[in-house]
Amino acid sequence: MNIFRLIGDMSHLLAIILLLLKMWKTRSCAGISGKSQILFALVFASRYLDLFTSFVSVYNSVMKIFFISTSLLTVYLMYFKFRATYDSNHDTFRVEFLVIPVGGLAFLVNHEFSPLEILWTFSIYLESVAILPQLFMMSKTGEAETITSHYLFALGSYRALYILNWVYRYYFEGFFDLIAVVAGCVQTILYCDFFYLYITKVLKGKRITLPA
Amino acid sequence: LGYPETKDEL
């Protein structure tokens, strides 16, 4: 555990809590892509199956259980409790165009051809593109609420901080996981346009609005 | 260099 990894994990945690608080306080999931949230639930469910096969640390297990349960809670709130506020007309990204190619790639490019390892690889690849339905939705509506922007900034920062963690681990521990690093870089790059808008607008007190 | 059998990252 190094400082980049710890802040990254805390940023990830903060993002999830921000999203849940926003929905709970406003009794609404307007502006949030349910498709991205389903993909995140799928990411955690397929990655953390090792909860049943290997123990790393209490921290590791608690975080995994937290991520799985909160992602399921988010999906439940969006599709059941606050379904009336879900903006499905703007959430039209075709997720099969992500899940099917990513599934195929996980079969072809992995560290080891075993069920758990393929599922782990699938989750790493899927996480890297899971935000696309959310970004697509924002480009369709042309705006994002400030709290949604904070959520996305925390969520994007997490993988960017993991890149610093991988640089650190490469130099000081000789650790290098090519699959995680490449996917993590792709994931971070997808957020760059949003990061630019966040810094130039949200941090100056303005909402994110895109030209029609 | 290699990947760990037990994955400690989240």
Element (H, E) at A209: strand A208-209
Enumerate residues 6+ apart whose C-beta is below 8 A from A63: A9, A13, B10
Enumerate residues 6+ apart whose C-beta is below 8 A from A55: A61
For chain A, what's the residue count? 212
- Report, as an integer, the average pLDDT of A4-29: 98
Report the share of chain A in percent with pLDDT over 70: 100
- Complex ipTM: 0.85
State residue B1's pLDDT score. 46
Search chain A and give the residue with CA nearest B2.
A176
Give tens-digit pLDDT for A86-143: 999 999 999 999 999 999 999 999 999 999 999 999 999 999 999 999 999 999 999 9
Report the share of chain A in percent with pLDDT over 90: 97
Structural domain span for residue A126:
3-209
pLDDT at A73 over 70: yes
Token match 């909402």: residue? Answer: A207
Element (H, E) at A143: strand A143-144
Q: Look over chain A and give the mean of its residue pLDDT values, rounded to a whole number.
A: 96
Could you say which of B1, B5, B8 has the minimum Cβ distance to residue A176?
A: B1
- Report, as an integer, the average pLDDT of A18-43: 98
A111–B3 C-beta distance less than 8 A: yes
State residue A212's pLDDT score. 65
- How many structural domains does chain A have? 1
B6–A5 C-beta distance less than 8 A: no
- Report, as an integer, the average pLDDT of A175-181: 94
SS3 content of chain B, % helix, strand, coil (to 5): 0, 0, 100
A54–B6 C-beta distance less than 8 A: yes
Instruction: Read off the pLDDT band of B6 (50, 70, 90).
Output: confident
Please report, for chain A, how many H helices and E strands are present, in that order.
8, 2
